[in-house]
Chain A
Amino acid sequence: MRLTAVELRRLLARRLTRIMLLFVLGVLAVIVGKTAYDSHQYTPGQVAAAQVQAAQEVEQWRAECRRNAPPEEQLTCDQIQPPELRYLLPTFRFAESAVPLVEGLAVALGLFGFVVGAGFLGAEWSAGTLAQQLVWEPRRLLVLAGKAAALVLGVGAVAAVMLAAEIGGLYGVARYRGTLEGTTAGVVRSVVLLGGRGVLLAVGTALAGFAIAGALRSTSGALGVGFAYFVAGEIAVRNFFPRSQPWLLTSNVAAWMDKRFEWYPPPCTTCANPGDQQVMVVTLSHAAAYLGMLVVAALLVSGLLFRSRDVT
């Protein structure tokens, strides 16, 4: 416990942590600020004017339809509906627009977690301070567990606060500058649960970065592995092995955040209806199990290497 408290102090005092914290705060500020800037509440006069505009527009569309449509299709022109007011009076609608914005911040927090996690252990290797620490506490797995626990607490707390601030901020924007129309208790609960999954995503990426940096004994090594995987690995695998999508990190992260991820395998050539496009789904439970297993495996490998290798 004492070790975790010390590591937590160190984590929060690190410059990289603070820089990344500023980055996430910037993302949060941009999301909430731009949403508030683009959102408006309209006066009854503006609504009435929009309704008039909608009525005029629909009459124009119908007249044009009647001029151009053949006689047998003239009746369909009367079925043309006026444009919805939401398109004429754009504003932030919490029930519809909160989810992608929360997902956006969650992805930024995932990046934050990976970089902070990798730097937390990688910096110790590059500065050589792990040797210093092991001269004080030689039980290596205990040392590693203390650091991992501090990382979980630190990154988890930051992610929770950031996502709570975002959800609260967006709710406030909707309440005072947009609309809460359709925002039922179920919608709020769903957004909060999404935020919770975002927190777990940040913690998971932090542990993954921590484990890779521990195994490679280098921050830049871990960042390089992450970069190479996303830039080269995923693109190549997705293109050359399209059926591998259920096992790609991005597919599973998308499924984790959206509760499902649909993907389209190459058209079937041997099945009953050749050429039919199948729709495959990566489920939330699949993503949870797969991502969780990867993080645990990375931590186990890192821990075993840390326990057995010499510190020189």
Chain B
Amino acid sequence: MNGDAVIEVTGLRKSFRGVRHGRRVAVDGLDMAVPAGGVHGFLGPNGSGKTTTIRMLLGLVRADAGQMRMLGEPVPRRLPGVLRQVGAIVEQPRFFPAFSGRRNLRLLAAQAGLPRSRVEEVLEQVGLRDRGKDRYKGYSLGMKQRLAVAAALLKAPRLLILDEPMNGLDPAGIREMREMMRQVTGAGASVLLSSHILAEVQQVCDSVSIINRGQHVRSGSVAEVLASRPTGEVRVRLTDLDDGGRILAEGGFTVRREGDHLLVSGVEDPAQVTRRLAQRGRYLSELVPVRADLESVFLELTGDGPPPGTPPGPPPDLTPGTSPVRPMGVPGTPPEPPPAPPDRPTGAVPAGEVGP
């Protein structure tokens, strides 16, 4: 096992017995490592086993098989000691509805032997100081979520496990949550973030693990995961879009016009595009490789998205007469091999730059 990981999971397995549908496997031989420091995104579709995994780590659910370590200690054997350094939110916030937010936190703090002043600190930190005296059941969903975060922060944890913490938060709340995570990691702690708001995960996470059907699918830094799924698309702008589109289509690319630019698919190397156009005396004003976002990578890896190479968005309309750009290539036809070296550097051309 990796000594730098705050969470290590090997061969983790858990199944639940259902009344109607027999035994259902929730986690199926999961391997995962969460590196120390930074925010690690834990992604997977609904029912993929994220929450069950988190519950097993926290000792709420017993694993059928496998090994788990948190902060270097085997769990659940050493859980009592480990949990003193771990703050966690598991799914929805859970507090006594008739007690105030402050009283709920004070009970937790008293149980852990923490001073009352710590309660005020975390209430301040999550912006609930003025509403601390109100009953929990009167809180909005966002306030409940903030209180859960406050509870998780009470212990000044080395590891923060957040299961869907952004549920119910408004944009300002999401931004505060992001800032809170940065504060926590800035202080040296690590965060495991399970969320389905993928844009948010992409923005805040340093690394991710993607699971599906209880099994590990992909993990690594966000950049590595994105790079593992090139789109094969470039966005091209030039003076005469119709003319340029025709030339590229004749070269075997799949081309679609989108507003003031062309979306060219099936591009293994952007140099192929610049070369093809330059050979015909057309010059780019802009070329930008289209990067996959985490959502498309996630959907593709978990089987809910289009197959690799399919352009995002609506399918291209190749019917003659329906697009200013005719069907400009036969899908599946490989692009022509580049006949000559490019006359200018490949890659993105600075916007506004016009070729000779």
Residues of chain A having any CB pair with chain B under 8 Å: 2-3, 5-6, 9-10, 13-15, 123, 127-129, 131-139, 308, 310-312
Contact = CB atoms under 8 A, between A and B. Distances in A.
Q: Per DSSP, are chain A's interface residues mostly helix, strand or loop, or mixed?
A: helix
B94 A131 contact: yes
B60 A6 contact: no
Nearest to A134: B60
A223 B110 CA distance: 31
A308 B151 CA distance: 26
Contact of A135 (B76, B88, B99, B103): B88
B168 interface: no
B110 A128 contact: no
Contacts of A9: 107, 110
B63 to A, nearest CB: 10
B62 interface: yes
A58 B55 CA distance: 84
A129 B95 contact: yes
A138 B80 contact: yes
Interface of B: 16, 55, 58-62, 76, 79-80, 83, 86, 88, 90, 92, 94-99, 103, 107-108, 110-113, 151, 155
Contact of B90 (A10, A13, A14, A135): A135
Given A13-B103, A138-B80, A5 B110 contact: yes
A134 B103 CA distance: 18
Contacts of A5: 110
A2 B59 contact: no
Nearest to B152: A135
Contacts of B98: 14-15
A141 B80 CA distance: 13
A311 B55 contact: yes
B99 A137 contact: no
A312 B92 contact: no
Contact of A128 (B62, B94, B99): B94
Contact of B111 (A2, A131, A311): A2
B59 to A, nearest CB: 4
Given A138-B76, A310-B62, A2 B113 contact: yes
A136 B109 CA distance: 10
Nearest to B84: A136
18 contacts: A3-B111, A9-B107, A10-B107, A13-B99, A13-B103, A14-B98, A127-B97, A128-B94, A129-B95, A135-B58, A135-B60, A135-B90, A139-B80, A310-B16, A310-B55, A310-B60, A310-B61, A311-B55
Contacts of A131: 60, 90, 94
B151 A311 contact: no
Given A137-B80, A310-B55, 6 more contacts: A13-B99, A127-B94, A132-B94, A133-B111, A134-B60, A310-B16
Contacts of A137: 80, 83, 111
A214 B92 CA distance: 22
A132 B111 contact: no
A203 B332 CA distance: 80
B94 A10 contact: no
Contacts of B97: 127
Contacts of A312: 55, 60-61
A137 B58 CA distance: 10
A128 B112 contact: no
Contacts of B107: 6, 9-10
Contacts of B79: 138
Contacts of B92: 128
Contacts of A2: 110-111, 113
Contacts of A134: 58-60
A264 B142 CA distance: 64
Contacts of B86: 135
B60 A10 contact: no
Nearest to B88: A135
A308 B59 CA distance: 11
B59 A138 contact: yes
